[in-house]
Chains A and B, each alone.
Chain A
Amino acid sequence: MVISELQALAEARPVQAEYKDGPIAGGYTSDLLSDVMAHARTGDVLITIQAHKNTVAVAGLVGAPAIVLCNDRPIPDDMVEAAREEGIALFSTLLSQFEVSGRLWKALKV
């Protein structure tokens, strides 16, 4: 499973596609940024509805290479810009965090 495959997996639209494609180690699903700071691991995809710039800062700090924004949340331009600077992939999907997490978990475990 590599980052670019998230698009098909999460039926997502790529919002920020300037990133280096590579393998995904796991995933972390949370809307509490402190929780993400505490528990996400390097290489995890961040699955969340927090569509703002600070989510990118947190992803950068924990070493998450991609963020999947669920429930079609509107994404501000400065978030896209921040993700581009950090080389973090951004995807937007109509699916919920539950749905995306389930699919990713399955793809990584089987």
Chain B
Amino acid sequence: MTTVPIDTASSPGVVMELLYSLRVKDAMTSSVITASTTARLRHVQDLMREHAITAVPILDGERLLGIVSIGDIIQALDSGTMERPAAEVMTSSVVTLDEDMPLSFAVTYFDRYKYGRFPVLAVNGRLAGIITASDVLRRLLIALNEEIGRMEQRIAGRQPPSEGPLPSMELSFGSAPLDFTRAGNISARFKKTLTEKGCPPTIARRVAVASYELELNQVIHSSGGVMRMRVFEDTIEILAQDEGPGIPDLDLAMREGYSTANEWVRSLGFGAGMGLPNVKRVADDFSIESPPGKGTTVRALIAWAKESTN
């Protein structure tokens, strides 16, 4: 079995995310049975039998020079050349993976090259491990089990967060009208703080989207405001409060593609009319108030339980 029956372009989101977030080194076997260039093929065959493997990387010190597969051994048995050294028979143009590559690369390699395994190299070029299609599938199965376990718990309504709850905290910063040099800084601070405290990336990402859009709204449309993030045991609240002028038609403002931003703002890539709809999409609870002549207050709640459904 050398192919991995997973489509890296159109599998469900959960599978794709796992394939991108897991690294080759998470799935590979790191204790590799190897032989030196001078090892006789007979010795290589013994290694294969002893360890029930079908290929042996050939090393010079820690440097990978080639690989001898079971096919090479069969050929040597056939032609009576089992006493020849590995260096003379090995395949020397070996396709390798890097240990930090996403696991999706391994899937692509198994489907593209019809080899049974790929040696894995560390950053310094040394052999770090070896990976087979069944290593990939085994690791993916473990990760999928964990993910499905979390989904079941959510469906059952128990919803314990997978990581411990974050410490409660509150952060708030002011935004200034049309100050594009600092626009995005507040949301970056929010995201950085959450990430440092061990917040899962999917949650931090949703907070980043919601706070970025609300921050940019204040910069583009308001005469200045305040952005506040409060972290509770099971939710994160983003509150954006500005001093006006307020939104005349809330229904229109919530419509995707509708924007009142001027040409200059649009030329910078803002004002696409996606801001508030984006916030609503990533939030588990969303409310907006904008009484005429007064400021706008937007509240977005992001709950832990929906951690990986986005």
Contact = CB atoms under 8 A, between A and B. Distances in A.
Interface in A34-53: 34-35, 37-38, 41-43, 48, 50, 52-53
Given A23-B101, A23-B105, A52-B268, A38 B184 contact: no
11 contacts: A32-B269, A37-B208, A38-B278, A42-B20, A43-B102, A50-B268, A52-B268, A53-B180, A55-B269, A61-B191, A63-B201
Contacts of B122: none
Contacts of B191: 61
B104 interface: yes
Interface of B: 9, 20, 98, 100-102, 104-105, 112, 180-181, 183-185, 187-188, 191, 201, 205, 208-209, 212-213, 216, 268-270, 272, 274-275, 278, 281
B274 A35 contact: yes
Contacts of B268: 33, 50, 52, 54
A104 interface: no
B184 A61 contact: yes
Contact of A53 (B105, B181, B205, B281): B181
A75 interface: no
Given A52-B268, A54-B180, A34 B20 contact: no
Contacts of A61: 184, 187-188, 191, 208-209, 212
Given A33-B272, A52-B180, A61-B184, 8 more contacts: A34-B216, A34-B278, A35-B274, A38-B209, A38-B281, A52-B268, A53-B181, A78-B181
Interface residues of A, number: 28
Interface of A: 22-23, 25, 31-35, 37-38, 41-43, 48, 50, 52-55, 57-58, 60-63, 78, 109-110
Contacts of B269: 31-33, 48, 50, 54-55
A34 B181 contact: no
Nearest to B273: A34
B184 A57 contact: yes
Contact of A42 (B100, B104, B201, B270): B201
A110 B183 CA distance: 39
Nearest to A24: B102
Contacts of B205: 42, 62-63
Contacts of A55: 269
A60 B183 CA distance: 13
B220 to A, nearest CB: 11
A25 B104 CA distance: 8
Nearest to A41: B20
Contacts of B20: 25, 41-43
A109 B191 CA distance: 31
Nearest to A22: B100
A37 B278 contact: yes
Nearest to B9: A109
A6 to B, nearest CB: 16
- Interface hub of B180, B212, B216, B269 (most chain A Cβ within 10 A): B269
Contacts of B180: 52-54
A57 B185 contact: yes
Contacts of B187: 57, 61
B105 A37 contact: no
Contacts of B100: 22-23
Contacts of A22: 100
A37 B270 CA distance: 11
Given A25-B104, A43-B102, A53-B181, A58 B274 contact: no
